[in-house]
């Protein structure tokens, strides 16, 4: 038995469970209203399955957008599979929840950021800071959308 409660890992598990529930709803009902997601993932995670040309183009990190066109969304216990369009080329992807670095729904200004132990130790990330702008792969010159990380303290009374 450990001498402390690992709140960081417990919180990450809860946040990944939230993502799984949201994606399950989208799998069953589609995207409601103006909702859409920017998901940044670690392309070097051992269980990520993406085309070689995508991992070559986005070594280490890639942001996907689930919005106008997606297909074959299948949500599982450990991750999700989806087919996305990259320059008129549909590509199947498998993304384990553990590979997700950020999950943002800019339509409602909601965002989650998963910090690693290394980032926490070096202070590389500021949990309450606005997230970097993210764009759909291949749309580098298009307008970017900003989203803010939501602090749970905002909802406490």
What domains, with CATH codes, occur in the chain? 7-155 (2.30.30.220)
Q: What is the mean pLDDT of the chain?
A: 79
- What's residue 118's pLDDT? 55
pLDDT of residue 131: 40
Overall pTM > 0.75: no
Average of per-residue pLDDT across 71-79 = 95
Give the pLDDT band (50/70/90) at residue 8: confident
Predicted pLDDT of residue 108: 93
Q: What is the structure's pLDDT at 87?
A: 84
Residue closest to 21 by CA, chosen among 127, 128, 112, 124: 112
Whether pLDDT at 7 is above 70: yes
For residues 145, 46, 138, 77, the Cα torsion angle rounded to the nearest 10 degrees is -50
Query: Strand, coil or helix: what is 60?
Result: coil
Residue 146 has pLDDT above 60, yes or no: no
Over range 7-35, report the average pLDDT.
93
Judging by DSSP bridges, how do beta strands 79-85 and 70-75 pair with one another?
antiparallel
CA dihedral (27, 146, 99, 127) positive or negative: negative
Condensed to tens digits (0 to 9), the pLDDT of residues 82-141 reads 999 988 889 999 999 999 999 999 999 999 998 865 544 544 444 433 343 333 444 333
């Amino acid at each position: 038995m450990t001498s402390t409660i690992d709140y960081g890992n417990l919180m990450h598990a809860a946040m990944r469970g939230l993502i799984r529930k949201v994606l399950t709803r989208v799998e069953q009902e589609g995207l409601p209203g103006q909702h859409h997601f920017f998901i940044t993932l670690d392309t070097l995670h051992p269980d990520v399955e993406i085309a070689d040309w995508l991992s070559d183009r986005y070594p280490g990190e890639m942001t996907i957008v689930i919005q106008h066109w997606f297909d074959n969304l299948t949500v599982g216990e450990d991750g999700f599979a989806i087919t996305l369009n990259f320059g008129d080329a549909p590509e199947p992807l498998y993304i384990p929840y553990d590979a997700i670095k950020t999950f943002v729904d800019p339509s409602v200004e909601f965002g989650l950021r998963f910090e690693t132990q290394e980032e926490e130790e070096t202070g590389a990330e500021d949990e309450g800071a606005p997230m970097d702008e993210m764009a759909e792969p291949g749309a580098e010159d298009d307008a970017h959308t900003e989203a803010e990380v939501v602090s749970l303290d905002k909802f406490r009374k």
